[in-house]
Amino acid sequence: MLYHAYELNHAALAPLREVVDANKRFLESPYNPASYTWAGRTAAAACDLFESFTRRYAKPEWGIASTEINEQTIAITERIIWSKPFCRLLHFERNIDQLRSAQSDAVTAHPRVLLVAPMSGHYATLLRSTVEAFLPNHEVYITDWSDARDVPLSKGAFDLNDYIDYIIEILDVLGKGCHVIGICQPGPPVLAAVAYMSEHNSPALPATMTFMGSPIDTRLSPTVPNQVAMERRFEWFKDNMIYTVPWPNKGVTRRVYPGFLQLSGFITMNQERHVTAHHQYFEHLVEGDCDNAQKHRDFYDEYLSVLDLTEEFYLQTIRDVFQEHTLAKGTFMHRGQLVRPECITQVGLMTVEGEKDDISGIGQTQAAHTLCCNIPQEHQLDYIQKGVGHYGVFSGSRFRSEVKPRMELFFQKFFDEKTERKYQKENAPLFVSGASS
């Protein structure tokens, strides 16, 4: 009933939002003398704040139109090259002619990077800045996960094993030699996928796998979310966190972990910070500080956009990753077969953690090195970024200036230009034209 109450509340407030929005436009109009007064600006700011508190935030657009290479602008086209009901694989295709011009000779084959976005409440667009950082020197692909409330029940279920199958299929599409990066939640399933592919001698093995702030083994340096998962019985999550998607959503009757519940957890963890941010936003509006007000809008338009997770995926993740630690203990099963990270021998491994990460504590990501015990030491790299929290691991100034350069140097150790050129030639429609499925 909670999901139905949430939808009803949103619908009930719709007329009031329209009235408040009309008042806001009237109060902000340059033809209204009140817009130049403190009282008028305060009233308009209050209307703006009400609207931001009560509206539903849609999935943000990527909005990546170009990148810069050698001081030249290269146009970017967003292409779907593979899709299934719960995920699309996007390629941020760089204009090939402009790329040749910027490099003044034949196009140098750039490493392919697959960003596996977290499926933990936010949309993949949360990694927009990560994508932008890699675009100048890489062919960038990303998993764009679907909102479970928008997937009809007829499309079937989606659990952690399906997630692993999706990763394997995507790596098959991209072919041998790409660099897969699992950011936060995807760490365990990406590791399981590469282990499964290694044991079966897949010809599409990635060159490297990088895990950033990932819960590989949450028994190490447990954080508040880890402790909550351990303190409550599995049945508590099943009884209190799962609800039925109501009409008129496309996924009506599907059982999900609602995004708005996940968002409430995010906000509760840093409640004081969010209250302060909105208070400052109100003051910026009253003062007419448009730049800072827009920065606030840009951040919260992304932060408050959330998606639902399927019941089976959420509960299996709680049980296997956060309560029973099956991958870390060597007991995780995929399609009836034991997942064996020790089978990985030909894939480079890099882990990145944040010194102040309050979601995935120090050591949780590093555990991948212990599990992948047969990767040669010279093909492994562990890095802890000082002074950053969870999001600073994969975005922000320190990511761009300190983390990304180290990742690129690590990738370069495994870079084979002949392999990349061969891939481009054999997959010309996918690489240049962006074939859609």
Within 50-163, strands assigned E span 66-69, 72-84, 87-94, 112-116, 139-145
Q: Are residues 116 and 174 in the same domain?
A: yes
Q: Label residue 33 exposed, middle or buried (CB < 10 Å: 0-12, 13-18, 19+).
A: exposed
Residue 336 lies in a domain: yes
Do 190 and 131 share a domain, yes or no?
Answer: yes
Examine the domain organization and report whether 149 and 184 are in the same domain. Answer: yes
CA–CA separation, 247 vs 264, rounded Å?
Answer: 22
CA distance 193 to 142: 16
DSSP codes joined into one string, 11-36: HHHHHHHHHHHHHHHHHH-TT-GGGG
Residue 254 lies in a domain: no
Is 5 part of any domain? yes
Q: How does pLDDT run across 419-434, given as a tens digit for each residue?
A: 666 666 666 545 443 3
Residues 36 and 157 in one domain: no
Amino acid 98 reads Q
On whether the CB atoms of residues 327 and 196 are closer than 8 A, the answer is: no
Say if residue 40 is in the same domain as residue 84: no
| Token pair of 310 as six digits | 């399927």
pLDDT for the residue 58: 85
One domain for residues 144 and 81: yes
228 in the same domain as 329: yes
Number of separate domains in the chain:
2
**Does some domain include residue 20?**
yes
pLDDT digits over 24-71, tens only?
Answer: 888 889 898 988 889 998 999 999 888 888 888 888 999 999 999 888
DSSP letters of 270-293? THHHHHHHHHHHHHHHHHT-HHHH
Q: Which two tokens stand for residue 283?
A: 């003051």
Contact 56, 147 (CB under 8 A): no
- H helices present in 91-233, as ranges: 96-103, 128-134, 160-174, 187-199, 224-231
CA distance 6 to 259: 11
What lies within 8 Å, CB to CB, of 367 at 6+ separation is: 216, 217, 220, 328
CATH number at residue 158: 3.40.50.1820
Highest mean pLDDT among 34-48, 142-156, 264-278, 401-415: 142-156
Closest among 212, 164, 198 to 366, alpha carbons compared = 212
Range of the domain at 38: 1-56
pTM of the model: 0.88
Are both 179 and 209 inside the same structural domain? yes
Task: Specify the pLDDT at position 419.
Answer: 62
Question: Are both 25 and 95 inside the same structural domain?
Answer: no
pLDDT for 436 equals 38
For residue 148, being part of any structural domain is answered with: yes
Query: pLDDT tens, 367-414?
Result: 999 999 999 999 999 999 999 999 999 999 999 999 999 999 999 988
- Residue 208 sits in the same domain as residue 332: yes
Q: Are residues 25 and 125 in the same domain?
A: no
Q: What is the mean pLDDT of residues 18-25?
A: 89
Question: 184 and 49 in one domain?
Answer: no
pLDDT in the model for residue 100? 81
